[in-house]
Amino acid sequence: MTFTRISGHEKTIRRLRSLVETGRVPPAMIFHGPAGIGKFPAALAFAAALNCTRVPFVEKTSPPPQEESLDTLFAASEAAPPAPQTAEVPAAQPVVPAQSGDSCGLCNSCLQAKSGAHPDIRIVDTAFQAALLNEDESANLKIDTVRELTRWTQQKPMLSPWKVFIIRDAEALVPQAQNALLKTLEAPPANTVLILTAARKNALLSTILSRCCPVEFGPLSRSVVGALLLAQGAAPDEAQRLAALARGSLEKAAEAGGIIARLAKLRAGDPSRAFKFAAGLPRDSHLAREEVKTLLELALANIRIAWSAAEAGPAKNRYTALLRRTLELRRMADRNVSYMQLLEITLLESERAGLKLEELLGTEVFN
């Protein structure tokens, strides 16, 4: 992963590249900003750039096989690593041209980083934790995982100038795990960098935040989200439609796609429609609330279309009232109001105003 492959975030990426160039890297950093905008790929690109050797990796021709003596057979049984078939060329070789502060993508370190097997770049997340503790994946990062991380930070780098630890979605750290991390964040060993990524940094203890250098990532532009969706194989009209609802996040775009598909299955007037819709919401109440917000954004976009198409008269007045009400509901969604209630009111009031469910998810708004 090189910085050049990251879409958007130009200013933030410039800042990260200048840290790589100068080598003045804060020992603890937090990459924060909305979910699904590329904080984790940026952390990977930063780690790769720090450890890039810019010396091209080439395959060495294998030496001719030699007759094995008994000694070498015994030596092999000592679990000595076999002679590598490949090696880096000496540093005297021409370096790989890379943009300043970025990784080359071609040296041994970059190739290892790309394959996820770099011994000095460690990613700590719930999937990794499940493998480490030999248990099912859980939503939280536990103190045992942080203890293991602390142990690794005390080891010397294996082949690179920097040891980089990326704690992905750090808000998953339980409070005890956060407390266990404080000492390492405050005084990590030399040439060690800890990067936390977080969509909700305020879910972390203030003692964690005060020890981390903040690096902010903002929402992506609509055109960048559209281009990324196209690159992921979305049809052009679908990419455009979802990008309009994505609020600058690929994760939100996927969420909007799911909402549209679920809304399409509801029937107007069905008394259990809000419950049917809610059955597909994520179990995590924060994520469920985020989906309801996306639904409200979708409703607002379509109500605005219906409003501007209506001629002055009772219909226009109904849409004006509905628009005001939906804006109010959208504001309430940021507060601690039951999202089920918001969902029910939105669907009910849209129908009352004469806006059918099909219109609530109409596509013409995006063209």
Binding site for Zn ion (CB under 5 A): 52, 103-104, 107, 110
Half-sphere exposure of 7 (CA within 13 A, CB side): 17
Nearest-approach distance from CB 267 to Zn ion, in angstroms: 56
| Encoded amino acid at 51, one letter | N
249 residue type, one letter: S
- Cα–Cα distance, 225 to 227 (Å, whole number): 5
Nearer to Zn ion, 49 or 299 (CB): 49
- DSSP label at residue 62: P
Q: Which residues contact 99 (CB under 8 A, 6 or more apart)?
A: 3, 4, 17
What residue ranges in the chain does DSSP mark as E strands? Answer: 28-32, 57-59, 86-88, 121-124, 163-167, 192-198, 213-216
Q: How far is the CB of 98 from Zn ion (least distance, A)?
A: 7
Residue 348 CB, shortest distance to Zn ion, in Å, is 58
| For Zn ion, the closer CB: 1 or 198 | 1
At 360, phi and psi to the nearest 5? -65, -25
Nearer to Zn ion, 48 or 228 (CB): 48
Closest to Zn ion by CB, 50 or 343: 50
Side-chain half-sphere CA neighbours of 180 within 13 A: 16
Q: Which is nearer to Zn ion, 52 or 194 (CB)?
A: 52
User: Residue 151: CB partners within 8 Å, gap ≥ 6?
Assistant: none
CB of 24 to Zn ion, least distance (A): 20
Measured over the CA atoms of residue 281, residue 283, residue 285 and residue 290, the dihedral's sign is negative
3-state SS assignment for residue 1: coil
Task: State the minimum distance, in angstroms, from the CB of residue 115 to Zn ion.
Answer: 13
Q: Give 116's DSSP letter.
A: T
Write down the least CB distance from residue 34 to Zn ion, Å: 30
Least separation in angstroms between residue 54's CB and Zn ion is 6
Please identify, using beta-carbon distances, which residue of 110 and 347 lies nearer to Zn ion: 110
Counting DSSP H helices and E strands in the chain, the numbers are: 16, 7
For 8, phi then psi, to 5°, come to 75, -165
8 Å CB contact between 254 and 294: no
CB nearer to Zn ion: give 92 or 279: 92
Shortest distance in whole angstroms from residue 107 CB to Zn ion = 3
Is the Cβ of residue 107 or residue 229 nearer to Zn ion in the bound state?
A: 107
